[in-house]
Structure 1
Amino acid sequence: MRTTFDLSPLYRSTVGFDRLLDMLDQIEPMTWPPYNIEKVEDDQYRITMAVASFAPDEIEVVQQESTLFVNGHKHREPESEQVLHRGIATRAFKQSFSLADHVKVTGASLENGLLTIALKREVPEELKPRRIEIASGNGVTALTQDNQPQQIEHELQKKSKAA
């Protein structure tokens, strides 16, 4: 049973959140194959999908901009095989994951029926916070924020002339 929510009151009372609300409106119940999303470290993540009976050449993992697509398609079984009961799913699947900015796929492996996709957030150096040095008005002495008292050069010159 799927419960639907009316998001129209949120559309009326928010500005700039339309993309987020559209995503909430399109959420569907979990489909096959089942998967886990794990946070391994601060900037590392892992998606593990249960894809029993699929071989590596039957699965395609593609990152396109900020979306990760995982597609699986079984090769045709030989017609000479007669299956009396099919309990292992062999249907094709398509799964997509929205990735945050600067998250990249670093690897994928298939072992014991589990597809593991490693992801890492790599923020470019130019977007990371950096400390800015503050120069004095004449540009002679740079002031830093280390809370250490500093002498300004022109005060030293006054003291040497007076002596």
Structure 2
Amino acid sequence: MTKLSMGSHPYLLGFEQLERLLERSAKTGNEGYPPFNIEQTSENSYRITLAVAGFAEDNLAITLEDRQLVIRGRQGEDGDGRIFLHRGIAARQFQRSFVLAEGVEVGEAVMENGLLHVDLSRAEPERVIQQISIKRG
């Protein structure tokens, strides 16, 4: 028995790019840091929330790269001569990637109490019905 991929299924035409997006999202290298939530805030809107305690707004970068939302964080090392007896809060960098469907747009990003909120919205697609004429051959 052969395994059919989504792009080669006979009833799904033109979905090769969706299959590539799924493969790319599986390879994003997202570990477990920072933890995040994704919530649906209405029928056509979403909110991604990342726990970014210790990061300032200028330590974070949010970019949209070919329908992929990328959130990066980089903290500078403390070089002010402090001596830690225990260091449980590490200054580490991260990158989180989210593949967005066509029509999903990134709204505003807000920092609040150590949480970064990124709002997304999806435009309702127009329903198009097209009549195809049949010609005699």
**TM-score, with length taken from structure 2:** 0.73
Is contact 2:30–2:96 with CA below 8 Å preserved after alignment? no
Q: Deviations over 1:17-53 (max 9, x none)?
A: 6426635864767421010111110110000001110
Is contact 2:25–2:98 with CA below 8 Å preserved after alignment? no
Q: Which runs of 4+ in 1 moved over 6 A?
A: none
**Cα–Cα, structure 1 residues 86 and 111, in superposed 2: closer, same or farther, change >3 Å?**
same
Aligned mates of 1:100, 1:69 — CA distance in 2: 14
Q: Residue 129 of structure 1 corresponds to which residue in structure 2?
A: 127
Q: Deviations over 1:102-150 (max 9, x none)?
A: 1111100111111110111125xxx512689xxxxxxxxxxxxxxxxxx
Aligned mates of 1:29, 1:73 — CA distance in 2: 15
Aligned mates of 1:70, 1:88 — CA distance in 2: 20
What CA RMSD, in Å, does the superposition of the two structures yield over aligned residues? 3.0
Q: Residue 75 of structure 1 corresponds to which residue in structure 2?
A: 76
Letter paired with 1:99: L
Q: Residue 117 of structure 2 corresponds to which residue in structure 1?
A: 116
Q: Percent identity?
A: 36
Give the SS at the match of 1:87.
coil
1:14-163 aligned at under 5 Å gives the runs 14-15=8-9, 18-19=19-20, 22-23=23-24, 26=27, 30-123=31-124, 128-129=126-127
Aligned mates of 2:57, 2:30 — CA distance in 1: 26
User: Which one has the bigger helix percentage?
Assistant: 1
Deviation at 1:9, TM superposition (A): 3.2
Give the SS at the match of 1:57.
helix
| Structure with more relative contact order (C-alpha pairs < 8 Å, separation 6 or more) | 2
Aligned mates of 1:129, 1:85 — CA distance in 2: 60
Give aligned pairs, total. Answer: 122
**TM-score, with length taken from structure 1:** 0.63
Deviation at 1:10, TM superposition (A): 4.3
Q: Residue 159 of structure 1 corresponds to which residue in structure 2?
A: none
**Cα–Cα, structure 1 residues 50 and 129, in superposed 2: closer, same or farther, change >3 Å?**
same
Aligned mates of 1:14, 1:131 — CA distance in 2: 26
Aligned mates of 2:8, 2:58 — CA distance in 1: 46
